[in-house]
Structure 1
Amino acid sequence: MRNEPVEQARRIARDRFPDALSVILAGSTASGRATASSDLDIAVLVADGAGTARETVRSEGRVVELFVHTRTGLAELFAADRASRRAVLQHMYASGLVLADPRGDAVRARALAEADLRQGPPALDPQTVETRRYSLTDALDDLADARDRFEGLAVAGYVLGAAAELLCDHHRAWTGGGKWLPRRLLEADASRGGALLDGHLRMCESGDPAPLAAAASEVLALTGGPLREGYRRTWRGVAGPLPAPGR
């Protein structure tokens, strides 16, 4: 039986990019997790001289995310994704469904993407880890002191994200945002990551901060421990470390 979303992606690629060097369908549609409202994530490699851009369009009633790049642009985007520690395009190329590859460009790009994924993201530098430990320690204090439910939930979201970043860095694992945060977190450490997610859920459902605080404290212990007294940073302009939440 024909898979209509996949066939739609083929039509879009054929109509909009007839001379594409390669076309990859990624995301939930390629992995079999799509719903009726899922968008189509399509990575398109085009000849040098064309532009590198991301564009959102609607086709046949479905939202389509187009990731268009030249060979040079793809190399630059891979480098940017390594620096961000998220590897968005690498995951697209490594796990996506090849729709067009007349000259083997998709195969070569997939090999580069898989090599990046195996190597893992660059480790955070010690000063950044220290700053994140300080910020998470401060946020846990705020979580324990929160008396307003909305403030508590906001702090809990920060605690989850900050602890996830530290835990993924500890394992040299890729991070993610939105729905990809829990997926990457569980890939990095199913036990500790699951405890963070369960603690955050408990906080949202019942307002009890204790499970989340315990899970985040375990991550802190794993990455150097809480940090309060003795923390010091000099101002280095806009490139300096981010302050703790609410500061």
Structure 2
Amino acid sequence: MDEPLPTARALVRDRFPTARTAFLAGSVLTHRRTPTSDLDIVVLMDGPPAPGRENLVHRGWPTELFLQTEAVWRDFAEKETAKRSSPLLAMCAEGTLLFDEDGLGASLQAEARSRWAAGPPPLSDGERDHLRYIVTDLLDDLRGCADPAERLYLVSHLLQRASELVLLVGGHWLGGGKWLSRRLAAADPDLHHALYEAAREATDGDIKGFEAAVSRALDAAGGPLWDGYRIG
């Protein structure tokens, strides 16, 4: 396959000649690149075919195109920020400008970097307590679980929830799938290592290490919460 940067640039120029700017982002530009890495491209234009999204294979590269106007970009950024997980800000903050016709790309990249560095909105006390309750409840279920299939699902769900709890309490952005692992590894490498190593043991029935790692996550958030928890 051709190199990712010139390939992505040529694709956007050919398919969207009126585009104002474009970013190439994702693992393909890093040491994490794998044989299945794709080209994640954010394209800014003034109108149709934006807004939209398209998946295709171009010169052997799996490619995801995120087509946006400036107004749609800002709307997406606001909505994702409210959810404390913003792939768009991350792509534009950490990605590479493919071209920039009128300065919009540089402006959006500066804004994305500033907002990304500032972190997501802080948790309210109620939100933090709700997360503590969820993790506490799941951990209690795991302690009493005797079914191997159920144990596997509980460990998987607890791994996600405990990771999210640590990130949010620490003021870090969330991520989905592999990005949840990467965000936690950057925020708290020791706990990240403890969680995933113990999770593998827990799926085989030995939950002691995993229980201890999840308890560390709970303690960082204020401790377990179940008895006396109320909403409303």
Q: TM-score, length-normalised on structure 2?
A: 0.93
Which residue is 1:116 aligned to? 115
More deviation in 49-58 or 36-45? 49-58
- Aligned equivalents of 1:35, 1:8: Cα separation in 2: 17
More deviation in 115-124 or 186-195? 186-195
> Offset at 1:191?
1.8
Tell me, what secondary structure is at the counterpart of 1:117? helix
RMSD between superposed Cα atoms in Å: 1.8
- Aligned equivalents of 2:116, 2:174: Cα separation in 1: 12
Which residue is 1:179 aligned to? 178
Q: Deviations over 1:43-78 (max 9, x none)?
A: 101115763222212223432111111111111111
Which residue is 1:217 aligned to? 215
Which residue is 2:82 aligned to? 83
Structure 1 pair 32–12 and aligned structure 2 pair: CA distance change class (3 A): farther
Residues 18-167 of structure 1 correspond to what in structure 2 (within 5 A)? Answer: 18-48=17-47, 51-167=50-166
Q: TM-score, length-normalised on structure 1?
A: 0.88
Return the letter of the residue paired with 1:210. K
- Aligned equivalents of 1:186, 1:33: Cα separation in 2: 14
- Aligned equivalents of 1:227, 1:64: Cα separation in 2: 44
> Offset at 1:3?
5.3
Tell me, what secondary structure is at the counterpart of 2:135? helix
> Offset at 1:137?
0.7
> Offset at 1:118?
1.2
- Aligned equivalents of 2:82, 2:208: Cα separation in 1: 34
Structure 1 pair 103–174 and aligned structure 2 pair: CA distance change class (3 A): same
- Aligned equivalents of 2:182, 2:166: Cα separation in 1: 13
- Aligned equivalents of 1:232, 1:35: Cα separation in 2: 46
